[in-house]
Amino acid sequence: MMVKKIIYTGFFAALVAVSVTSCKTPGIAQREENKNVPASYANNSLDSTNTATIKWKDYFTDPNLAALIDVALKNNQELNITMQEIEISKNEIRARKGEYLPFVGLGAGAGVDKVARYTNIGAMEATTDIRPGKEMPEPLQDYRLGLQANWELDIWKKLRNSKKAAVNRYLASIEGRNFMVTNLIGEIASSYYELLALDNQLAIVQQNIGIQNNALEIVKLQKESARVTELAVQRFRAQVLNTQSLQYDIQQKIVETENRINFLVGRFPQHVERSTQAFTDLVPAAVQTGLPSQLLANRPDIRQAELDLMAAKLDVKVARARFYPSIGISAGIGYQAFNPSYIFKPQSLMYNFAGDLMAPLINRNAIKAEYYSANNKQVQAVYNYEKAILNSYIEVANQLSRVGNLEKSYGLKAQEVEALNQSVNISNDLFKSARADYMEVLMTQRDALESKFDLIETKLQQMEAMVAIYRSLGGGWN
């Protein structure tokens, strides 16, 4: 009895020593995320009304643009690839959930065994009777059928935290999909407005070709009456040819922009239906930025970074739990016999039950490395989260300033176009009455054409700013 007591005491002491030693984890520096943002944007407005809450169909009211976005949300290849990544993340949850549930399997087997006679096992089988007068069969057959179960007790929540981390990554993949939707809608809208701008530029060029052809005919008539030389005729003709070549450059850009849209909506090149409204008549939608703190809830990329951070924190807990002892339970029940006719007899019943405790004691470098890496990734996730917040605020601030400055710029550009249109008429009249040189007419026509192009470009930038600030605020995915 005294010997057994000493043995049990020694085993218990060793068990405690293993547990205490294994529970020691290396200390590392932790870093908490900073969620603080300024109270308002540069306009100092504290109004919480936010354009990001508007549905994209209510924000982009052009029916042709809405139809393109609808098709893209179904057919875009990148979006469909992301949807499969979400399914992969969902399967990861199933895998992690299964790890902390018992593993139960049904097994069956058959075999035959012939041992040498002059061995301890052979000698025992030769002198063993199954029942009086009936020896053990030789060779010995073996048939087995039963259930086997294994279960790791998740006392340190290692497996449950691993499952929670998988859930957060699944949710993060959904937010990644939402962010892609926001960017996809923005890219289609920007390309659509670019297409409208190119249409209007082409119309202006064709209109100018007609004006310049009329001017060329007038110069030819003046040359016949010796009021101008052949030099003036050739300069006017060169101007017409230059403008005619410009229309083909614009037509090529139209084809490329149409095909960019076709790619985004997942279809082969075809004509893109669009509005015929004068591009300069478009009015950007009014935008209300709300409060910077709303970005944390509205921006999918911020929420994705936050969920990745939550998963990284859980990974640290999982890595820490690997230093602790793990407890496993295994059990089995079934039938085993050397003859199939005996296998379901009560005497053929077999079962087993065992428990084990295992803790890392010596050479824990791999566990330490995994733990350090998990902590480094958690700190990295903190920086990514803070970066997403800072980036979103700066994007909104930039676009907000851009909207205001473009509005002022467009007003001045419109006045410039009006002034140059009048200059063209004046220069033509002066040229007809020989009070202006033909170079003045050519330069005025060129300046007028460039100013109209600049006006359309500024309008395009206005529409793109309207799209960009909607995306920056986190609109479009809901």
Structure-token match 């807990």, residue found: 317
What is the C-alpha separation between 182 and 76, in angstroms, rounded? 13
Q: Could you tell me which residues come within 8 angstroms of residue 30 by beta carbon, excluding any fewer than 6 positions away?
A: 375, 378, 379
What is the C-alpha separation between 105 and 366, in angstroms, rounded? 31
The distance between the two most distant Cα atoms of the chain, rounded to a whole number of Å, is 142
Q: Could you tell me which residues come within 8 angstroms of residue 437 by beta carbon, excluding any fewer than 6 positions away?
A: 431
**Which CATH architecture describes the domain 30-100+155-324+361-473?**
Up-down Bundle (1.20)
Report the first-to-last Cα separation within the chain, whole angstroms: 74
Q: What is the CA radius of gyration of the chain?
A: 40
Instruction: Count the Cβ atoms, other than its own, within 10 Å of residue 374.
Output: 20
Cis peptide before 139 (omega within 30 of 0): yes
What is the C-alpha separation between 96 and 464, in angstroms, rounded? 44
Extents of the domains making up the chain: 30-100+155-324+361-473, 103-153+325-358
pTM: 0.83
- Name the β-bridge partners of 147: 106, 333
Instruction: Count the Cβ atoms, other than its own, within 10 Å of residue 226.
Output: 7
DSSP 8-state code for residue 344: T
Tell me the DSSP string of 367-428.
HHHHHHHHHHHHHHHHHHHHHHHHHHHHHHHHHHHHHHHHHHHHHHHHHHHHHHHHHHHHHH
Tokens of 318: 């999982």
CATH 2.20.200.10 fits 103-153+325-358, yes or no: yes
Q: Going residue by residue through the chain, which has 478 residues, state the pLDDT in tens, using 9 for 90 and above.
A: 443 444 344 444 444 444 444 456 677 667 789 999 998 887 667 788 899 999 999 999 999 999 999 999 999 999 999 999 999 999 988 888 888 788 889 999 998 888 887 788 777 777 777 777 777 777 888 889 999 999 888 888 888 999 999 999 999 999 999 999 999 999 999 999 999 999 999 998 998 888 888 878 878 887 887 777 888 888 889 988 998 999 999 999 999 999 999 999 999 999 999 998 889 899 999 899 999 999 999 999 999 999 999 999 999 999 999 888 888 999 999 999 888 888 888 888 999 999 888 888 776 888 899 999 999 999 999 999 999 999 999 999 999 999 999 999 999 999 998 998 888 888 877 877 777 666 777 788 888 888 998 999 999 999 999 999 999 999 999 8
Instruction: Count the Cβ atoms, other than its own, within 10 Å of residue 366.
Output: 10
Q: Could you tell me which residues come within 8 angstroms of residue 381 by beta carbon, excluding any fewer than 6 positions away?
A: 305, 308, 309, 311, 312, 313
- Name the β-bridge partners of 328: 152, 356
What is the C-alpha separation between 357 and 330, in angstroms, rounded? 12
What pLDDT is recorded for position 10? Answer: 41
What is the C-alpha separation between 221 and 219, in angstroms, rounded? 5
What is the C-alpha separation between 46 and 255, in angstroms, rounded? 45
What is the C-alpha separation between 77 and 81, in angstroms, rounded? 6
What is the C-alpha separation between 189 and 196, in angstroms, rounded? 11
Tokens of 47: 């109004």
Q: In this structure, are residues 267 and 360 in contact, taking their beta carbons and an 8 Å threshold?
A: no
Q: Could you tell me which residues come within 8 angstroms of residue 206 by beta carbon, excluding any fewer than 6 positions away?
A: 247
What is the C-alpha separation between 150 and 103, in angstroms, rounded? 5
**Pairing between strand 140-153 and 134-135?**
unpaired
What is the per-residue burial (b if ≥16 Cβ within 10 Å, else e) of 392-411? bbebbbebbebbeebeebbe
CA within 13 Å, CB half, 317: 18
What pLDDT is recorded for position 211? Answer: 81
